[in-house]
Structure 1
Amino acid sequence: MTDPLPPPSDRQKTFSMERTEATRITLIGMVLDAVLGITKVITGLLFHSQALIVDGIHSFTDVASDLVVVAVMRVSRQEPDQEHPYGHQRIETLGTMVLGSLLIAVGAALAWDNTLRLLNPDVARIPEWPILVAALVSVLSKEWIYRYTRRVGLAIRSDLIVANAWHSRTDAFSSVVVLVSTVGAMMGYLWLDILAAIAISLLIIHIGWKFTWDSVKELVDTGLSPEDTERLRNTAMGIEGVRDVHELRSRRMGQDILLDIHLVVRPEISVSEGHQIGMQVATAMRATMDNILDINFHVDAENDDDQSPTSEKLPDRGQIRQALQEVMPGELPPNSRLRLHYLKNRVHMELFLEPAPHQEQQDTRELARQMESHAWFGSLRIWYSHP
């Protein structure tokens, strides 16, 4: 049984709004990255700063990542369809992984370039003061776009947008390195700014690795943390009628959570009561964690973890009625009702009869004794209703 999702129209409106916000902030960042990239490369060439040239190339990688983000967000925020009934958010996860990999590559390239500069400090030329101006403008503008993009990413619950915001901040870090290296070069300490550049490059690699590894864990359906899983289990156990939770599985899809849960309830309750208990559990879980997209709950009459699950080879209702008919002296009344309980690989039966006037009641113990010839027989109770 599944807890119903929000109406498709509401979900599509949400997807459309999120896609629009993501595209708008990404295009703003892309224009800014292009302008900064051109400015830093030209300034670095004219005023002798290899660091600023590399920083400008880093800005162009931001432009490439922005194009990836725009393309991925348009696809990942589409409405679920027959081929993707849970939606397309995993495409966003894939995009986040690509973006993280790009951060690793850029960080590694910067680290290698600055390591070579550290080993050969004599080849470096002293930069001029316009480098400081270009680097400072880059730091301020990239820090602004980082904060703006991150705020939008958190608002629309998009790991990809948040990752792109951090990519913007790595550009600001690179520009800080340029500031430090320029001041250090002007004071005669070329090795200091190069060492700082390597440290920032390693930080860029670390950020890229975090996003890549988190995406990989999501793509292989890594579940929630033990703490979150236990919190959800306790929530389910707090609902009246739940005897046990013997299986709780989770996986992520973007910022959303998908759950499968098995609820143990009393075996004698009705199907509708079991379903109602499941719906109450789903509501309580959504109140505990508001990013749960889908809850698939299974209602069990016994705990399959403590014993062998009830076999699917047990007789069905028609076969059981036929077995009862064979041991009963007369025909089963057409208005009789049979309630079956499949527990511990046995069938426990409740037979509800409305006997005709002056008809003798059946000897339940004798009927049960005759039914014991069937290996699957558990127990028999007969209920009579009288006008």
Structure 2
Amino acid sequence: METDNKLEKEAMKVSVVSIIVNIALSLLKLLAGILAKSGAMISDAVHSASDVFSTFVVIIGVKLAGKQPDKEHPYGHERLECVASVILAVVLAGTGIGIGVKGVQKIAGSQTGKLVVPGALALVAAVVSIIAKELMYHYTKRTAVKINSGALMADAWHHRSDALSSIGSFAGILGARMGLPVLDPLASVIICVFIEKAALEIFIDAVNKMIDRSCSDDTVTKMQEVILDTEGVLGIDELKTRLFGAKIYVEVEIRMDPGKTLVEAHDTAEMVHDMIEKTFPEVKHCMVHVNPDIPD
């Protein structure tokens, strides 16, 4: 319980920093986009603003998922984080579509009208955004590795996606200032693609965690090694894992010498249980069943 609270505080600290940075970038890019008449920069500002909303959704989801089991929810509330992620994915997808449609409309209108060339201020804002987002990527990734958080790792790559998005804005604005104004709204369409990609990844990850998908092969292999290294275990008859929100449930059937006493079998099962939960902090519960090792 103390470990979970510590991890939650670490995640909350990073989330607060992320919110502050994204609010500052949103305001900077929106102001620069308006003053410099850059549709790409305004779209990028909306992208950063959506990240603020995304972080709030993640915080709420983590808080709800951390609630203790009760009579109505004896297995806990971890899947509420998945529900929050699905909502987030839908909102992000809607935001991206809106930005993309606006960009396409401007590109189509360029055939009959004259596009405005964005000012230099938009370039400065794009550079600031690229640097800030890349720094946030490294900061968030370092914390994610430290506390073994998949959610934070996903958020880190979201920051990297934003940095790439701002590079697209920079290229579009620069191209527009060099005589190709159509590149500015084209950058908005590119930003739309980045947002849709992020939304799809969030949605797929949430769905996988809601349908009891198993852990990765690498994780299962490491679990098998831990189990087989436990004294008294002669083999593994079955090992099943399932994702439950950000947590993992494990069910394993081990083989033991049939001559062992009930107390000895119980003690070995307890050792397997404790080693799995100690080695893999994301495991919420491990169920161990003992089978006698009877030769065919």
TM-score (norm 1): 0.65
Cα RMSD over matched residues? Answer: 3.0
Number of the residue aligned with 1:140:
131
Alignment of 1:16-165 (within 5 A): 16-121=5-110, 122-165=113-156
Structure-2 separation of matches of 1:279 and 1:231: 18
Structure-2 separation of matches of 1:220 and 1:256: 13
Structure-1 separation of matches of 2:14 and 2:223: 35
**1:311-361 deviation line (CA, Å, top 9, x unaligned):** xxxxxxxxxxxxxxxxxxxxxxxxxxxxxxxxxxxxxxxxxxxxxxxxxxx
Larger radius of gyration: 1
Alignment of 1:364-383 (within 5 A): none
Q: Is the deviation greater in 240-249 or in 203-212?
A: 240-249
**1:6-57 deviation line (CA, Å, top 9, x unaligned):** xxxxx1x223333333333323322332233233223322321111122222
Structure-2 separation of matches of 1:50 and 1:64: 21
**Aligned 8 A contact 1:174 1:197 in 2:** no
Q: What amino acid maps onto 1:40 in structure 2?
A: K
Q: Is the deviation greater in 28-37 or in 179-188?
A: 28-37
Number of the residue aligned with 2:205:
214
**Counterpart selection for 1:252 from 239, 243, 254:** 243
1:287 is displaced (CA, Å) by 6.8
Number of the residue aligned with 2:181:
190
Structure 2 CA distance for partners of 1:48 and 1:57, relative to 1, 3 Å: same
1:297 is displaced (CA, Å) by 0.7
Q: What amino acid maps onto 2:53 in structure 1?
A: A
**Pairing 1:224–2:215 present:** yes
**1:235-277 deviation line (CA, Å, top 9, x unaligned):** 5345554454332211123443221112233444321121123
Number of the residue aligned with 2:264:
273
Structure 2 CA distance for partners of 1:32 and 1:221, relative to 1, 3 Å: same
Q: What amino acid maps onto 2:9 in structure 1?
A: T
Q: Which structure 1 residue ranges, 5 or more long, are not aligned?
A: 1-10, 307-387
**Aligned 8 A contact 1:135 1:175 in 2:** yes
Structure 2 CA distance for partners of 1:154 and 1:211, relative to 1, 3 Å: farther
**Aligned 8 A contact 1:69 1:161 in 2:** no
1:65 is displaced (CA, Å) by 1.7
Structure-2 separation of matches of 1:286 and 1:228: 13
**Aligned 8 A contact 1:23 1:73 in 2:** no
Structure 2 CA distance for partners of 1:157 and 1:242, relative to 1, 3 Å: closer
Number of the residue aligned with 1:261:
252
Give the length in aligned residue pairs.
293
**Counterpart selection for 1:301 from 288, 292, 296:** 292
Structure-2 separation of matches of 1:61 and 1:134: 18
1:198 is displaced (CA, Å) by 3.3
**1:252-309 deviation line (CA, Å, top 9, x unaligned):** 2344322111223344432112112323433554576454332101123378xx9xxx
Structure-1 separation of matches of 2:196 and 2:161: 10
**Aligned 8 A contact 2:67 2:77 in 1:** yes
Structure 2 CA distance for partners of 1:54 and 1:218, relative to 1, 3 Å: same
Structure-1 separation of matches of 2:23 and 2:222: 46
Q: Is the deviation greater in 155-164 or in 63-72?
A: 155-164
Q: Which structure 2 residue ranges, 5 or more long, are not aligned?
A: none
Structure-2 separation of matches of 1:62 and 1:169: 12
1:83 is displaced (CA, Å) by 4.5
Between the aligned residues of both structures, percent identity stands at 29
Structure-2 separation of matches of 1:284 and 1:23: 28
Higher helix proportion, which one?
A: 2
1:222 is displaced (CA, Å) by 0.5
1:217 is displaced (CA, Å) by 0.8
Structure 2 CA distance for partners of 1:85 and 1:153, relative to 1, 3 Å: farther
Structure 1 counterpart SS, 2:116 = coil
Q: What amino acid maps onto 1:273 in structure 2?
A: E
Structure-2 separation of matches of 1:288 and 1:73: 22
Q: What amino acid maps onto 2:60 in structure 1?
A: A
**1:186-244 deviation line (CA, Å, top 9, x unaligned):** 11123445545434432332232222212211111111234543553455345554454
Structure 2 counterpart SS, 1:190 = coil
Structure 2 CA distance for partners of 1:203 and 1:61, relative to 1, 3 Å: closer
The one of the two structures with greater contact order (alpha-carbon pairs below 8 A, sep at least 6) is 2
**1:145-198 deviation line (CA, Å, top 9, x unaligned):** 333233333433333333334444443333222211111011112344554543
